[in-house]
């Protein structure tokens, strides 16, 4: 196995998950403040790894140090964000309806509801984000904040980086006197190890970021269990961008420069890369495409994350460009070598796009296809034909927005995030962010993988009826010892 890490047996994985269940039960006895300090200590220990961590990640992923430094900051920042969420407390959605014993014809019982953790969570590290979507990334941070234990399967493309982050988490566990197995780390490249993690009796939920095939496989493993569990997979997305006519007439050069940068950012290795562009046939569309092609021509190829992703990009981009009706506009003028990706943009008519499902598929890398439609009705038909997306973007002037109400009304049904006059690459980590979308962008469009609401994936509501006050969780006790906002008999109160 690569990196000399041992492939675990099914028995070893079952033992890991049993340890995770024991740790989960012990973790329920820790206070809000203890959990908050634990998350902050993980962030501190990751930062204490210094440049050595960045260098190792760069060696394994070919990502530049500045990009990795920013991603590490995002990772530690979201750990601290969840610590703040815990202290604020309202995330548990404490809801109290007090008893009405004299109500007729039947008395009303005392009812109190809040969110409680599911249990051990298995997280599959992502290849394209060695920090933010991997060992101590958003899935891990949100699951620990929600009160769950976590088992991470390291991505083999950056296994040693993952080991270094694991060492930081182990230090935080010891420093904060947390249950020893509240976080565990395994390796594995076989389908069998992934299946065993999902199907272990003690696994309560799964988080995954990666390919559609990988996410659907995990979902299938879950469905084969005696007791199916939720699988939250973030999968493929082409992130369609609609360019409206007035802005193309007025801002073609600026738009071309903006989208040259977005398409080639990180060699297109973002789940929010704008892989699909749409516009209605006009002279200004062709002007924009030519300007975009000129921009793409000047972008030098760079190494992709690993040979597997490079091979997939080569295969899928070549297959797309070979389709009937697809015209390559331009590609990088610099010849690519080794596992470098050559940026490329192409066009196709709306009619040809609608007739060819292959063109609807994500090409993961610095590739984008402009669909030129006969009219707005065909453009809307094209938008409706694409599967669920993480993002959709509309570029337009105020005049454009006033004249295309039907189009704008459609956009929220397509994606989890609707952008106006920007680029989809770049995901802000905050309470309002939604990083999810209709299938197959994710397996459950009701949830986000980014921001404080990502914790909702790992919890479920429980109602306590006529429970003695001293036996209630602190968040539901009458005196509100945590001092959190609660919906109390229909009014928000502290």
Q: What is the pLDDT of residues 455-475, one digit of tens each?
A: 999 999 999 999 999 999 999
Q: Which of 71, 271, 362, 378 is catalytic?
A: 271
> What integer pLDDT is reported at residue 3 of this predicted model?
58
Rounded to the nearest angstrom, the gap between the alpha carbon of residue 461 and the centroid of all alpha carbons in its chain is: 23
In the set 40, 234, 362, 378, the catalytic residue is: 234
Average pLDDT, the chain: 96
Q: Which residues of the chain have pLDDT under 70?
A: 1-3
The pTM assigned to this predicted structure is 0.95
Q: Which of 406, 410, 405, 348 is nearest to 373 (CA)?
A: 348
- Per DSSP, the three-state class of 304 is coil
Spatial separation of the C-alpha atoms in residues 426 and 123, rounded to whole Å: 22
Q: In this predicted model, what pLDDT tens digit does every residue of 203-222 receive, in sequence order?
A: 999 999 999 999 999 999 99
Range 241-420: architecture per CATH: 3-Layer(aba) Sandwich (3.40)
- Is 430 among the residues known to form the active site? no
CB 427 within 8 A of CB 449: no
Sign of the CA dihedral running 123, 124, 130, 132: negative
| Burial zone of 455 (CB within 10 Å; 0-12 exposed, 13-18 middle, 19+ buried) | buried
**Residue 1 pLDDT:** 38
Paired sense of beta strands 459-465 and 111-117, if any: antiparallel
Catalytic (active site) residue 176: no
Domain with CATH 3.40.605.10 in the chain: 2-235+445-488
Conformation bin of residue 275: beta by default, left when phi > 0, alpha when psi is -120 to 50: alpha
CATH 3.40.309.10 in the chain: give the residue spans: 241-420
Kindly report the CATH class assigned to 2-235+445-488: alpha beta
């Amino acid at each position: 196995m690569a990196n000399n890490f041992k492939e675990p047996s099914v028995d070893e994985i079952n033992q890991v998950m049993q340890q995770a269940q024991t740790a989960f039960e012990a973790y329920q006895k820790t206070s809000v403040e203890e959990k908050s300090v634990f998350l902050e200590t993980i962030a501190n220990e990751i930062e204490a790894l210094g440049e050595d961590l960045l260098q190792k990640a760069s060696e394994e992923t070919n990502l530049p140090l500045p990009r990795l430094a920013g991603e590490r900051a995002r990772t530690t920042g979201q750990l601290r964000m969840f610590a703040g969420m815990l202290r604020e407390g309202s995330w548990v959605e404490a809801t109290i309806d007090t008893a009405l014993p004299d109500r007729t014809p039947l008395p009303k019982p005392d009812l109190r509801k809040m969110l409680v953790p599911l249990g051990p969570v298995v997280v599959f590290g992502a290849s394209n984000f060695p920090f933010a979507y991997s060992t101590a990334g958003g899935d891990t941070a949100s699951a620990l904040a929600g009160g769950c234990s976590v088992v991470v399967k390291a991505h083999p493309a950056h296994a040693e980086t993952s080991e270094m982050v694991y060492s930081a988490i182990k230090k935080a566990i010891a420093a904060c006197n947390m249950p020893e197995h509240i976080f565990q780390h395994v390796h594995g490249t076989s389908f069998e190890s992934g299946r065993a993690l999902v199907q272990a009796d003690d696994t309560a939920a799964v988080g995954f970021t990666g390919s559609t095939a990988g996410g659907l496989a995990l979902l299938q493993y879950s469905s084969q269990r005696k007791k199916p569990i939720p699988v939250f997979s973030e999968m493929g997305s082409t992130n369609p961008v609609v360019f409206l006519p007035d802005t193309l007439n007025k801002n073609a050069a600026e738009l071309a420069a903006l989208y040259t940068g977005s398409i080639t950012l990180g060699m297109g290795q973002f789940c929010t890369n704008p892989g699909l562009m749409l516009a209605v046939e006009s002279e200004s569309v062709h002007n924009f495409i030519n300007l975009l092609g000129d921009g793409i021509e000047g972008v030098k190829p760079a190494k992709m994350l690993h040979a597997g992703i490079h091979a997939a990009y080569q295969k899928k981009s070549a297959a797309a460009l070979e389709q009937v009706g697809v015209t390559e506009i331009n590609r990088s003028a610099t010849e690519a070598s080794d596992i470098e990706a050559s940026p490329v943009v192409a066009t196709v008519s709306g009619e040809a796009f609608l007739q060819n499902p292959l063109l609807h598929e994500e090409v993961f890398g610095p590739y984008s296809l402009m669909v030129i439609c006969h009219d707005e009705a065909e453009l809307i038909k094209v938008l409706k034909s694409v599967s669920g997306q993480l993002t959709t973007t509309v570029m337009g002037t105020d005049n454009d927005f006033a004249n295309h109400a039907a189009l704008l009304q459609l956009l929220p049904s397509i994606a989890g995030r609707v952008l106006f006059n920007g680029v989809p690459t770049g995901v802000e980590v905050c309470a309002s962010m939604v990083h999810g979308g209709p299938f197959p962008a994710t397996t459950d469009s009701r949830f986000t993988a980014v921001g404080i609401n990502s914790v909702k994936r790992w919890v479920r509501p429980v109602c306590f009826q006529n429970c003695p006050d001293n036996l209630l969780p602190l968040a539901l006790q009458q005196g509100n010892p945590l001092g959190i906002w609660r919906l109390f008999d229909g009014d928000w109160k502290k």
